Structure formats: structure tokens, C-alpha cells
Structure 1
Amino acid sequence: MTPTLRDARPEDIETVRAIERASAQRFIGLMDALAADEPSSPEVLAARIAAGGLLVAIDADAPIAFVMFRPVEDGLYIEQIDVLPAFAGQRIGARLLDAAADTARTRGLSALTLSTFREVPWNAPWYRRLGFIDIADVALTPGLLEIRRAHLERGLDEDARTFMRRPV
């Protein structure tokens, strides 16, 4: 059965956090600090829900995946996308990104943007297969540079990351 997509609701917040925790386990042995990192806070998730920036994929009436985004300049910035490991490989993440692109288009925006790890197979290489292209560091916009600054403050290794963009 194909999961359905819908806007997240406040009652989905703890399930979304659990999905994020489960998905982070893929980083054990690769980036242990990231695997142990706390998921998005309930306050951030509630704010994204209120702003229409959190979509979930539903199977058997429960969320199994999500994409969280917010407007940054002329696009929607993908802050997080996760699929429960038991549902990986079913193109659910790709469907969620397409739904985010539809949202961007509806809002009159021109692109999806994101920042991800260059070499992790389920990160940048996966996004490239879905039509995202790397943005050269010299071409980063003020909004994306602010996101990079926030990543550095969180302790992320920005040398291992790339910003990407996909027109909608």
C-alpha cells in the first residue's frame, strides 16, 4: 500500500521526533555525535506545523516519514527529511520532496534548497539523483550563509557538507 501524504498535525509531534531518532541511527559508526543528537524540538515542530512547513507520510494511520521546510529567500529550505528505516527504499522521501516542491510552487517560490553531507550515500548522492545540484560556496546567498553560520554554531563540519538547489 502506498503511504498517503498530509500536513502534519500537533498530535504528530512526538511521532515525528521518534522518526527522526530512528533515522539518525544510520549515522552510528559514521558520525556518532550526529546519531546521538536530539531531534527537532517540539516547539520548532509546532512552529513548522503552524506555518504549513511539515508534511508527513502516513501508513496504517501513523506517520512513517516527514519533510520539514521553511521559506528562505526565493525557495523552501528543506530542514529535515526522514523515513523510518523499515520503510526505506520505497521512494517515500522522493514523494515528500515532490510535495514540498508543489508547496513551493503554490507559494510562488522557485526552488527547494538544502544542506547535506557530500559523501554520505543517502545524502548528497541521493539528492543529486532527484535533480538537486550543488551550489558553489561562492554562490551562497545571504540566507544560506546564515544557515551555514547556524550549522557551525551547532558544531557541524561544514567542510563535509554542501548546499544544493532544485528548481520547482
Structure 2
Amino acid sequence: MTVRAATTADLPVLQDIERAAGEPFRLFGMPEVADDEPPSLETLERFTKAGHAWVAEDATGGPVAYLIGEPVDGAFHIEQVSVHPDAAHRGVGRTLIAYAADRAREQGLPALTLTTFAEVPWNAPYYERLGFRVLAGPELTPGLRRIRAAESEHGLDRWPRVCMHRATEPAGQRTAP
């Protein structure tokens, strides 16, 4: 598996990956999440042009996962990471997150942030295994508060959600200053 920058030609495939990755939410009693439309081509293009969209390719060179994000309040905020179910449980998401952490570190961003469902096994519990921690209310930056407000307006607060944070270098791998 390789990770590379997303291209404009990839964007319709990324939408397909998002739709497929949403299907497990249906089985978890969250059909509204499964039915939610993927990011628009315009939105994906914005992340691509900014250099903040990456794809993981399988051995055939086809994208099987993607990650998009952007700097928010001095951290790299992961807006979306989606893995096609056919590529799940193979470390693809972990690899994309590590790649994003490396890019963030290169840009001088010391941390990753994201928002996610608290009780979905492949959401907050998964990210905790990758070194993320849940942020308490007072720790939320203005940008994270805006993101959460937009998610709430979109109806995502029907299920518990959390903001999470991780240093770009996981604990135990940090170098001395």
C-alpha cells in the first residue's frame, strides 16, 4: 500500500469510498449517517488544491481510502478519514493518519485533532488506540467549537460526539527538545 497526494481525477472515487465506508453505520443503527452524502467534488477539490488530501492505494494502484483535513487553531484537523470496507482491518486508516501526522509536523503543526462519534467502535475507541485523547470542554479551541456547532446543525448530535487530540509524534516517540 502506498499513500500519495489526491488528484482531481481521484475525487469521484473518493466519494464512492465515502459511500461504501458509511454503510456499516446502517448496521450500527445509524442509517442517517450511512445515507449522508459524501463531501462534494468542490469541497474535495479545495482540500486537494491546498495539499491536504491524501489517498491510500492498493497493489493495483487504485485508491481504497482517503484523508482530508486542514490547519485549525495551530493543529492539523482531520476532517474525514474513510476506508473502503474491502480494505478495512489492514492498517490503512492508521497509515493515512501517520502520513497526515508527518505532513503536519513538516508544517510545524504539533498536533492532530478530529471530531468523531464517541460510541462507534471504529470511531473514538479506534482513535484512542492510535494515541488520541478526548478533549474536555474547556480544552476546545474556537475553531473546534465552530466545527462542533456545524456538526450539531447538520444533525450529528443525535449520537454522542467528541473532539480528540494527539501530538503529531505519538507518546513515547517524541524527541527531546
The normalised TM-score by structure 2 is: 0.92
Contact 2:5/2:51 (CA < 8 Å) preserved in 1? yes
Map 1:7-156 to 2 at 5 A: 7-29=5-27, 30-59=29-58, 60-156=60-156
User: What secondary structure does 1:162 align onto?
Assistant: strand
Cα separation, 1, equivalents of 2:144 and 2:128: 19
- The gaps in structure 1 that reach 5 residues or longer are none
Cα separation, 1, equivalents of 2:38 and 2:156: 15
Q: Using the TM superposition, name which of 153-162 and 86-95 deviates more.
A: 153-162
Identity %: 45
Cα separation, 2, equivalents of 1:77 and 1:158: 22
Shift of residue 138, structure 1, vs aligned partner? 2.2
Contact 1:151/1:158 (CA < 8 Å) preserved in 2? no
Contact 1:148/1:158 (CA < 8 Å) preserved in 2? no
Shift of residue 100, structure 1, vs aligned partner? 0.3
Shift of residue 36, structure 1, vs aligned partner? 0.3
User: What secondary structure does 1:34 align onto?
Assistant: helix
Cα separation, 2, equivalents of 1:78 and 1:129: 16
Shift of residue 113, structure 1, vs aligned partner? 0.0
Counterpart amino acid of 1:39? P
Matched residue pairs, number?
166
Give the aligned CA root-mean-square deviation in angstroms: 1.0
- The gaps in structure 2 that reach 5 residues or longer are 169-177
Cα separation, 1, equivalents of 2:89 and 2:39: 24
Q: Residues 22-42 of structure 1: CA distance to partner in whole angstroms, max 9, x if unpaired? A: 000010142111100100000
User: Following TM superposition, where does structure 1 have runs of at least 4 consecutive aligned residues deviating by more than 2 angstroms?
Assistant: none
Cα separation, 2, equivalents of 1:140 and 1:48: 23
User: What secondary structure does 2:68 align onto?
Assistant: strand
Shift of residue 7, structure 1, vs aligned partner? 0.3
